[in-house]
Amino acid sequence: MDRFTNLIWRIRLWQDLAGQDLIEYALMSGLIATAVVALSPQLAASISTTFSRVGVPLSAAATQGS
């Protein structure tokens, strides 16, 4: 009887998928965090370039209006 009970518990644990969603969410958030860290330097350089391109005409317009 003890072997049968042990077998039943093993089958139940093998079929239990309750923690699967948590593991999937953890893997996805880790992947997203890795992508953000990898793209941050390129994104920062692009934003800096864009602000520089916009800032030069704005400062020129500000000095002309005075």
Structural domain of residue 63, as residue ranges? 21-66
5-42 as b/e: b if 16+ CB within 10 A: eeeeeeeeeeeeeeeeeeeeeeeeeeeeeeeeeeeeee
- Residue 4 token pair: 């049968």
User: Which pLDDT tens digits describe the chain residue by residue (66 residues)?
Assistant: 688 887 777 777 666 666 677 788 889 999 999 998 888 888 888 888 888 898 888 888 888 865
**The pLDDT of residue 14:** 65
Q: Is residue 13 one of the residues assigned to a domain? A: no
In a domain, 5, yes or no: no
At residue 13, the pLDDT reads 67
Extended beta strands in 1-66, E state:
none
Q: What is the pTM of this model?
A: 0.44
Q: How many domains does the chain have?
A: 1
